[in-house]
Each structure stands twice: as C-alpha cells, then as structure tokens.
Amino acid sequence: MDSPRLTPAPPPRCPRIIVLGNEKGGTGKSTTAAHLIVALLKRGFSVGSIDLDARQGTLSRLMENRADYAKRKGLDLELPEHRRLYRSESSARGAAEWEEKRGFERAVADLADRDYIVMDTPGNDSFLSRAGHACAEVLITPLNDSFLDLDLLARIDPQGRQILGPSLYSQMVWEQRQQRAVMGLAPMDWIVMRNRLSHIDARNKREIGRLLELLSQRIGFRLAPGFGERVIFRELFLKGLTLLDLRDDDPEFQLSMSHVAARQEVRALLRAIGLPEAPPPTKAPPPPKAMVTGTGARGTLS
C-alpha cells in the first residue's frame, strides 16, 4: 500500500483570547469588553464572546439590547457570536465545577473558528472566572482611579505610599501565568487600564499613577491609557451601543467634543493593546453576522 502523501495541513484556526478581569465590581469590565468586541468586528475580524458573569450577565444583556436596537431601527449593527454561561445548580461543589467546566469548554469549542474570543468575567472570584483567566492570552484589568481600588492589585499601607505585598487577585493571575509556562503556552500579556479618570483631584491622580508604575514592575503588567469619567457610557448601555457606533450625523446622539475625546480614548486603548487594524489579506471574509444566542451550562447533573 502506498504511503500517505505528506501534504502540509493548514494550521487549525486558533482564536486569540482576550479576557476582561478583576475581582472588584463596577470597574468597567463589561463596558470595555463591549468596546473591544465592536472594535474587532468593525475591523473585519470574526469575534466570539463569552459571558462568564453567571449572576449578572451584563455583557449578554448589552448584546441583546444591541440586537433589539438594530432591529427596531433597521440598522446593520455588527454582532459577535455570543455565549452566556450559567452557574451550575448542583449543591455538591465538585459536581458543580465539573458541569461549569464542561459548559465553558463547549462554549470555547463552539467559537474555535473565530479570530478572537472576548470573555467578560464577574467582579468576584468564581470557578468560571478562574477558567477564563486560565486561558487568557491578553488579560485586561480596568481599575477605578482610587486608592480603594488599588488594593485589587496590592496591599498598600494606610497612608497610600508603600506597597506591602500582592493582593489575592494578583496572586491568582501569577498562578495562571505559571500554569501557562508549565504548559508551554505563550506568556500572558497583562494590561491594567485606569478607568473613570476624573478631571479634578490632580494630586491623587498623580499619586495613583506613581504607585501603578511601581506595581507594574513588581507584579508584571503593562499600563494602558483608560477612559475618562463620561456619562455617555451609561447612556449607550441601554441601546447596546459603543462609542465606535456613533456616527457624526447621528440624530439621537449629538456628537459633542466629550464624545469625540472619548472615542479617541477607546482608540488609544486599542493601540496600546496592539490589536491589528485588519485581518491578514489572505484571510477569507468573515462569516455573515450572527444572532445572539444564550446557551450555557444551565441545569444540574442527574
């Protein structure tokens, strides 16, 4: 019998995984996730998104709002292929984690043909959140610009001048990084971005900036420019829109100087992350726009 011909197989598609994470609530993870997803879609990439915030499901709601708004207004808004994961209802911890693990792996496998998978995680420690962090090639941690929020990354002395040691969250990220190294995976690129920067309190802002610079060397993350405190983010949420969707001639949102500045901030973040402007030219065009679906690990093990 003839030997099989050795033809080089095309490499399997392997999405880049970007995870939004920290263990503090309300710092801008879901907002930033939505902006990244829309930015990538607008650049022509195919994108899958996974909502690991089983309790709140903010990103899922945002995508539902987006699909509704597009339908109502007859707009051609880009949508990712979306998966929402739910917490297992099993009371036995081991069984619950196995079930959530299966749901997570199924969602990732479903989206394996995408260029990117963007995962949003809850503002607390959970099994699903750790599963997301474990496969993050890029981890983006939005941080509210206050001393209170700095202790997400490290313990700071009460005067706010010295770093006493890493936080539980930083240790968890460190463990995930070790795990990646053991498995021979590419190192995780951890990016911290300051969110809701206020225009006042310049002294505090400088001091937080100084501590973050120190921390970035100690804990091993990059600092990226974040977003200012702007009401528009809350207004857009209800429609599932992002700053990147606003047109100059939009009748509903009169584009102000503040909106233009906010859009520049989003673009600066995208540059800092290092996202390509477009897919490679040889790549096939992205599949047609997908509808938002809500599947996941709901149900219990029998």
| DSSP H helical ranges for 90-227 | 93-110, 127-134, 147-150, 168-182, 202-215
For ligand ATP, the closer CB: 111 or 241: 241
Shortest reach from residue 141's CB to ligand ATP, in Å: 10
Shortest reach from residue 150's CB to ligand ATP, in Å: 16
Strands (E), the chain: 16-20, 47-51, 81-84, 116-120, 138-144, 154-156, 163-166, 189-195, 222-224
Question: Could you tell which of Mg ion, ligand ATP, none binds residue 221, using a CB distance below 5 to 8 A set by kind?
Answer: none
**C-alpha–C-alpha distance, residues 204 and 194, integer Å:** 13
For ligand ATP, the closer CB: 205 or 218: 205
For ligand ATP, the closer CB: 103 or 240: 240
Q: Which residues, including other chains, have CB under 8 Å from residue 55's CB and lie 6 or more apart?
A: 87, 122
Shortest reach from residue 249's CB to Mg ion, in Å: 31
Shortest reach from residue 23's CB to ligand ATP, in Å: 9
How far, in Å, are 8, 29, 41, 98, 276 from residue 187 at the CA level? 27, 22, 25, 26, 19
Q: Closest residue to ligand ATP, Cβ-based? A: 123
Judged by the rule CB under 6 A, the positions of this chain that interact with ligand ATP are: 25-31, 53, 56, 58, 122-123, 195-196, 227, 229-230, 233-234, 237
For Mg ion, the closer CB: 24 or 43: 24
Shortest reach from residue 59's CB to ligand ATP, in Å: 8
CB 30 within 8 Å of CB 62? yes
Q: Closest residue to Mg ion, Cβ-based? A: 30
Judged by the rule CB under 5 A, the positions of this chain that interact with Mg ion are: 29-30, 58
Shortest reach from residue 271's CB to ligand ATP, in Å: 18
For ligand ATP, the closer CB: 41 or 152: 152
For ligand ATP, the closer CB: 53 or 115: 53
Angle formed at CA 286 by CA 284 and CA 292, multiple of 5 degrees: 155
CB 195 within 8 Å of CB 32? yes
Shortest reach from residue 22's CB to Mg ion, in Å: 10
Strands (E), 184-301: 189-195, 222-224
HSE-CB of 241 using CA atoms within 13 angstroms: 21
Strand partners, 19: 119, 139
Question: Could you tell which of Mg ion, ligand ATP, none binds residue 194, using a CB distance below 5 to 8 A set by kind?
Answer: none
Is the CA virtual torsion 95, 100, 104, 109 positive or negative?
A: positive
Question: Could you tell which of Mg ion, ligand ATP, none binds residue 132, using a CB distance below 5 to 8 A set by kind?
Answer: none
CB 78 within 8 Å of CB 70? no
CB 26 within 8 Å of CB 124? no
Question: Could you tell which of ligand ATP, Mg ion, none binds residue 170, using a CB distance below 5 to 8 A set by kind?
Answer: none
For Mg ion, the closer CB: 30 or 60: 30
Shortest reach from residue 263's CB to ligand ATP, in Å: 12
Question: Could you tell which of Mg ion, ligand ATP, none binds residue 196, using a CB distance below 5 to 8 A set by kind?
Answer: ligand ATP
For residue 71, give both structure tokens.
Answer: 């339908």
Question: Could you tell which of Mg ion, ligand ATP, none binds residue 141, using a CB distance below 5 to 8 A set by kind?
Answer: none
For Mg ion, the closer CB: 46 or 141: 141
**C-alpha–C-alpha distance, residues 22 and 152, integer Å:** 7
